[in-house]
Amino acid sequence: MISLAGAVLARLVIKLANYYQKITTRKVETMTDLDELRDLVTDFSNDLAQAEPEPEKWPGWIIFTLESLDNLTDDHQAFEAELIALRNDLTTRIEGGGW
């Protein structure tokens, strides 16, 4: 049986797949597309917080999402560079209190 948080993540994956299919058929990504992607991620964050209200469980879902993205990319070196940038952003947030 899938948890509510898992269902939230599955819904995000479906929405992202639809988004990806839409932008790849046009070959041009617009600001509207980026706004739509931002909204998808915001909705996912809100839904995850409601489905899994304990923040200590969120890292598992974030790691699962990153693993999924890693498996989808063809450029693992670029993905690793982005993980390093993410680590730096997280360090800044933890040490400085802001993004």
Residue 58 neighbours by CB under 8 Å, 6+ apart: 48, 49, 52
Q: Which of 38, 52, 39 is nearest to 9 (CA)?
A: 52
- The span from the CA of 59 to the CA of 48, in Å, is 11
pLDDT tens digits along 8-56: 777 777 777 777 666 667 666 677 877 888 888 888 888 888 888 888 8
Whole-number average pLDDT of the chain: 80
